[in-house]
Every structure is written in structure tokens, then in C-alpha cells.
Structure 1
């Protein structure tokens, strides 16, 4: 970082004060993470904009807990204060009182030596992967609790008189003995019935868009039903109603899901990312309706594929041949239609790049489209 940029960030950059984090815990922001020392109090010189902050506590055996984190849209010179609560092994969600925040602002210079500078060298890459995530998308998608957890949070439902009566009956049946077959039949079900009933903790779910299940318009004729069963454009158009004020909002949701699985380590986000990528890649008619959306989509995929770790990458490519099959449909649609020239050029250059870099073959039909040979019995 040059001196001018450092001075600008020092004057206008945001600060994250992160108090009482146990020594040795993981703390990270965007693509960078560290194990915190005894004097760690947070981070300074954070470029204004959207960032992802995450952390993992460690136990007495130095084992790290599953990662948790949150997105925050930092404004210029903002001071965000978070405190660690050892009783819940997570950050406190209570807002810092105004007078306490004022004390932090007054003692900023004294606090400065305890704050690590933001690693600006990776900021350009971060922006390329989050440029469609707006503050409104953060409001719409983040869980109500404000924290994104790598492991789903469940709570045990309280037992009822009916469930207790049923368990008592099962125990009585087991105590009476009976034939071996009856005992074997009830053993498995009784073990399951005795397990606590779990449900997702309220407010912890990421509020992703529901992928529309209706593939074609109401009252569609047979030709339209056939068309839209292959072309996902009607589903995309339905989904776009959520982003009526911002047509590229779906790209922000794709980026949000990508960061949540890449950095936040949430597998459900990986699945949602795949669903949205497949939806756009198989939307043929929409290429004419949203040429800029698809041009930006291709550019976004270019940056995302560069950052996917090898272990994830193997899964994305090999599991049902997802990525190559899905992109094959996108490239075929771009070639078979008279689409926007800029969009076609961007798409075909992207295909060439993938072919050269990964040796993927987009010229032959994927296996799932190959004709099925049925041998007749003699």
C-alpha cells in the first residue's frame, strides 16, 4: 500500500473494535484470517463498503469451533464495536450504548496500537467478488439474528404429555418381551422416538429466495409447456419480481451465497449458489430480455471460478458434471440465437478461457443429452 492510500484509509477508513476475544481464536475479514494474540482489539483502516467478518473460538484442547460471521456495510470513519460473551461463546448481539461508543471515538488514538491494519492488497479481489452485493441485499438475506453460522443451529422441542405417554408405552412393550421378530421391529422405531425432536432455531436461517417451482405460465398451451420445461426463463422472470427495483439483484444474491460457502463455510449456500447459476445458464429467452444482466453474470462467474478451492472445485465439476454441463447450455444458447453482440462476445471469450485453462470440452454434447440405446430382446 502506498503512502497516499494509507493516509486516506487512516483518515476515512472504518474501524472494527472486537473486544474480549479469547487468545488463539480465529478472527478474519474478507479473505484474510489470523489467530489473535493477547493484545488484539480489532481492525482499522477498513475500506468503506461491504465486508464479511468471521471468527472461531477455541476450546481448552485448542480445537476450533465452527466458523460464524456477519456481513456489514461499513461507512466512512465508522467505529463498529463487538464484544465476546464467554457464556455463549459468541459475540453479544446487544447494541453498544451511545456513551460507550463515544468513549471509543475519543480514545481512538490510544486504541490504535491494538488494531491491526486491513490487508489492503487483497481488497481489489474482494470487490470483484462482491460488487453486486448492495446494503439492501444484506438486509434482505442475512438471518434475523444477524449471524451466519457454518453449522445449522437447532433447538430441542419440549416434550409433550402425548410424546411422554408414547415413550412409556414403547418401554412397556420392550419390558414385556414378546417374540424376537416383534422386538426387532420395534427396536429401531423406539430408538428414533426417544431422540429429541429438533428444529432450526428461529431467526438463524439465511433468507435466500425460493426457487420458483412453476416452470411455465398459468394457462400455457402444450407448446409453451414444452418450451418452458427446458427454458428456465419463466422461473427467472418470476424470481426477478423480488428484485424489481434492481434487476441485477439476483447477481448480488449469487455473490452473497458464494461468499457464505467460500468464506463462511456454509454448505447450504453452496447448494443455493449452484441452483441460481443453473437457473441463469438455462434461461434461453431471457438472454434477449436481460442482456446486461447476463453480461455481468459471465464476468462474475469468471472471478468466482478463479477463487474456488480445489476441494470444492472437484465437487462442483464432478458431481453430476454440474459446472461443465450447465455452462454448456449457456454457451449453446448464446450461439444459437441472435443475442446482444457484447453478451455473445463476452460469453464466447469466457468459453475459450475455460477450455484453455481447464481443458473442458464444450463442443460435444454432455452425457445426459446423449441418445439412450435400448437393446431389444431376441
Structure 2
């Protein structure tokens, strides 16, 4: 009889077939025989579901495999490191998460509470884990879709022959693959896990609790942070008086559990980026160079002026919630963070390590932005990727002016790498002198008209950016 050594696993009892399931960077549709995911590597994971692929609200939760005290420490491959000796001693049995499907809320609920019935239910699921594994009901964790997961589905007879050998459902057995295929898939998997680690290595339990709220704790003491695609911050919500305000006394036992919690984002006010009491030139310069606002945010919330892990972690979290949940509020906060950071000129010199880390992270995020249905920039129909191209063009100008030809600037090195990739992938040109900003356009009837880019208004101080003449009442006019 084949025996299987238990590995970190998440069980999903009662999950209906054809449910959209996502784990980290991949999505798939559940089958009748799908009961969970095994071989979860150490580090952060985000699992979410949706009743349909496009038209339903998605619900998901963050959870951690391994020693959660190591989370959010930065670029130390936290998603790839093994558990510490202390963690192995404290958890002789592998970590088993049990999230049951709730037909009422159409979401996964963890087994929580201290009642004997809940403990016994959890024990029954764990005791049946071996049988579920042998039946082929556990999906082996993948960080990316490999070629073996895209092969033609097998017949029922072929599936029944493979069940019990540890292979994934609908996947070619390893012995049927060539050595080149196996090596290619191993490299793809390693790169995928490295990407996921780079996208989550600044996320910490404290950050998730600040942004999402206090975690739920299951019967085994495992925390998880729950949110939905409809979760929002108050500043991004469209409030309609008398319509979206909950009525008192209407919250029942089930609606209370599904009550949306407001996101606790870092407070960013891009219209006020100067210190209290600043006037005149100081205020004008702080509006053009937001380094003071960035520094104040880092010092206030991270407690680490050289790292800014809270800022970097929120930049990671908001992006991934757009990538997986298409959450509108997270998209807006991701854009606010980028606008604050990339318009901080002095930080290029004063916070070289932090700024270079932002560019390194942004490059990795942009490489995965097509994972969003239709593309990340397409879901923001207002201006697509124009906002980011404009910010990076300004940053390029600032780096050239402040750093010049110095080769020891980490910001310049990372920006050069990002610019090269953007040129190949999107044909973006970040050097202002290479962009035609004003010229003559010939119409079909032969008439020529002068055209000017709207983005030119701010630089030329024209249009809405033109100086305003103010009468101060003393008979003098001031610009």
C-alpha cells in the first residue's frame, strides 16, 4: 500500500465544482474531486475563490506557512527558506489548514472556536487526509502554470490508473516526460517561487492587521487575514446618503460576519506634502519635491528610517490585491504610493537604498501585470499606464540632473534596468528630449494644424498650470 508523508496542506471541504480558485499567482477551476492543495512551501500565501470567473465578488485570505516571525524582513528569500529548528519542534505535525465552503456567503470559512464539536470535526478531516491524497483529490502546489498542467485532459480510465501515485489530476505522469521537460518545469517553478518571494518579502503580520484588520484564528491557532474584491478604504468609496448607509438593527448573525472592514491604508495626501507651518518657498518646493512627506511617512509608520518596510509592504500588498482580486481601492492606493515615492527628488540621494528597492519591486510587478484579466493598465480605463509613464519620465529627469554619470548610484542602476525593459516591452521612452511634444499634423484635406501634448502644460506652465494673477487688495497685482 502506498503511503504519503504529510506536507503543509490546505483542505477545502464542500467546495462546489467549477468554482474559480486562485492560489498566489495561478488560478484554475475546481473539479468534483478537488479537495485542497498540498506541498505548500514556507512563506506567505493568498488563496481566493469566486463563484464565477468574472461576474462574482472574490473572497480570499492571507496565511503563512512556517515561522511567521520571519515574515516581512526584506530580501532574504523568506518564501523559500525552510522552517527554523524551533518551528519544527513546535509543529511536529505539518501545518494543516481547513477552510469549509459556505453556500450562504459563497466563500471559504475557517474552522474556528473552542467547542469540542469543532475540534472533533477538524480531527476527522485530518484523519481522512491520507485517503483524500490517495484518491487524487489534492492539487500539488505550483507557483506557475507549467506545460505538464496544460496537456490534454486524461480519460476517466487513465485518471483512475494514476490515482494513488502522488501525481496531480489531469497531469502527465513524471515518467512520461522527457528530461528536458522536467528540467524546464523545475526551472519555471523555481523562478515562479522566487518571483512570489520578491512580491511578498516586505509583508508582515503587523502590516496586514493595520491594512485589513485583526486576523481570524482557527481551531489550531493559525491566523488568516480575510478580504474581498469589494473591500475598500473610505476615501475611495462612493457614498450615496440613505442608500449605502447600513440601517441600525438590520445586522444579523450572518451579515455581521460578512460586514466589510475598511482598509487602513497609509495616509497619503498628495495635495499637502509640506510640514505644518511651512510658507512661501518651502511650501512651493515641498509641493514639487515630496521628499519631506515621504520621509515623514516612513519615520512615523515604519520605525525604520532607512528601510520603510511598511511603505514597501503596502506597495506589495496593494499590487497583489489588484493582480488577484481586481480591487479598485488597492489600485488607487498603489498609484498614490508610486506618485509620492517617484516624485521625491531629494530621496534619490538621501534614501538611495529605499528608492532602488522601490524600482526593483516595480520592475518585478510590471513583469507580472499581464496576469490581470485584460492587463493591469486596461482595468484603469481613465488613463491606463499614462500615469506611470509620466512619473517615470519625471524620475528619469531628476536622476539625470542629480546623479549625472555617476555609476555608484543604486537608483540609477535600477532605473536603467527598468527603462531598458520598458523600452522592449511597451516601447516607452523616458528621456524627455527624445519625445516630440509639439509639431504640425497634416489632415486628410491637406490642412496643417499645430498639435501640442496635454502633458506639456505642466512643464510649460500653460493651461491649468498657468500662473494666476491675484489682487491682494493693496493695489498691486502678484503672480
TM-score range, shorter chain: 0.7 to 0.9
Query: Which residue is 1:357 aligned to?
Result: 425
Contact 2:274 2:293 in 1 (8 A): yes
CA deviation after TM superposition for structure 1 residue 232, in Å: 1.1
Say if 1:148 and 1:206, in contact at 8 Å, map to a contact too: no
- Matched with 1:33 is 27
Unaligned runs of 5+ in 2: 67-82, 84-93, 144-188, 216-224, 233-239, 248-257, 434-454, 464-479
Deviation at 1:132, TM superposition (A): 2.1
User: What corresponds to 1:242 in structure 2?
Assistant: 301
Is 1:342 the counterpart of 2:410? The answer is: yes
TM-score with structure 1 setting the length: 0.76
Residue in structure 1 matching 2:323, options 245, 262, 284: 262
CA contact (8 A) 2:8 2:65 kept: yes
Residue of structure 2 in register with 1:48 after alignment: 42
In the alignment, is residue 198 of structure 1 matched against residue 263 of structure 2?
no
Aligned partner of residue 40 in structure 1, secondary structure: coil
RMSD in angstroms over aligned alpha carbons?
A: 3.1
Q: Distance in 1 between matches of 2:12 and 2:5?
A: 20
Deviation at 1:335, TM superposition (A): 1.5
Q: Using a 3 Å threshold, how does the CA distance of structure 1 residues 123 and 13 change in structure 2: closer, same or farther?
A: farther
Length, aligned pairs only: 324
Residue 330 in 1 paired to residue 395 in 2?
yes
Partner of 1:81 in structure 2? 98
Secondary structure of 1:19's match? Answer: coil
| Distance apart, 1:197 and its partner CA | 4.5
Q: Which runs of 4+ in 1 moved over 3 A?
A: 10-13, 96-108, 143-146, 199-203, 314-320
TM-score, normalised by the number of residues in structure 2: 0.61
Tell me whether 1:252 sits opposite 2:320 in the alignment.
Answer: no
2:267 to 207, 210, 215: 210
Q: Which of 212, 227, 240 is equivalent to 2:285? A: 227
Q: Structure 1 CA distance, aligned partners of 2:398 and 2:5?
A: 49
Q: Secondary structure at the residue paired with 1:361?
A: coil
Candidates 365, 376, 384, aligned match of 1:312: 376
CA distance in 1, matches of 2:462, 2:274: 31
- Summarize the Cα distance change of 1:276–1:24 in structure 2 as closer, same or farther, 3 Å threshold: same
Assess, with a 3 A threshold, how the Cα gap between structure 1 residues 12 and 354 changes in structure 2: closer, same or farther.
Answer: farther
Deviations 1:314-350 (A, max 9, x none): 4489448201111112222212114852222222232
**Where do 5+ consecutive residues of structure 1 fail to align?**
1-9, 154-191
C-alpha distance in structure 2 between counterparts of 1:275 and 1:11, whole Å = 47
Q: Does 1:66 align with 2:57?
A: yes
- Judge conservation of contact 2:274–2:287 (CA < 8 Å) in 1: yes
